[in-house]
Amino acid sequence: MVAFTSSHRFEQIQNPPSQSCSVLKPGRGIWLNDISIMKTMFYKNSSNPFMAKGTIKPVHFHCIAPAAESVYLVGDFNLWNPTSHPMRRREDGWWDIEVLLRHGHHQYRFLVDDNPVLDPKSIGTALNESNEPVSLMAVS
């Protein structure tokens, strides 16, 4: 049987204690000796490796613009800088870029030959601080 310890390591236990609670993974035999350890691990500990907050993930952006000369990605993650994230043209007319983004919601749009274009595959649209429409995405 496997158990969490206060140092968040896994240990083998021959006989689980009678006053334990199982973590919501039936069939795995995971036990906690103290409910306070669970609260520390899952609710209070900001360095918990299972929390998404503060994580950085690679996000792929794609834009179809076969006749475009240039396509840039602008958003709150680059302070709306129109030249900091140039996208790469592919032979099939798509443009793409990979950007490392922090956990959370982000606003962005494409600049296709200096004209703002929304992403039709975004999770939604909103208005930015300048009252202009932008695409929305969530990173988790």
51 is a domain residue = no
Domain count, the chain: 2
Q: Are residues 71 and 29 in the same domain?
A: no
Written as tens digits, the pLDDT of the chain (140 aa) is 433 333 333 334 344 444 333 333 333 444 444 444 334 334 444 555 666 667 899 999 999 999 999 999 999 999 999 999 999 999 999 999 999 999 999 999 999 999 999 999 999 999 999 999 999 999 98
Q: Is the pTM of this model over 0.85?
A: no
The tokens describing 101, both together, are 């983004």
| Residue 115 belongs to domain spanning | 56-139
Q: Are residues 80 and 38 in the same domain?
A: no
d(CA 111, CA 72): 5
Q: Are residues 20 and 40 in the same domain?
A: yes
CA distances from 67 to 12, 83, 89, 115, 129 (A): 62, 19, 11, 13, 30
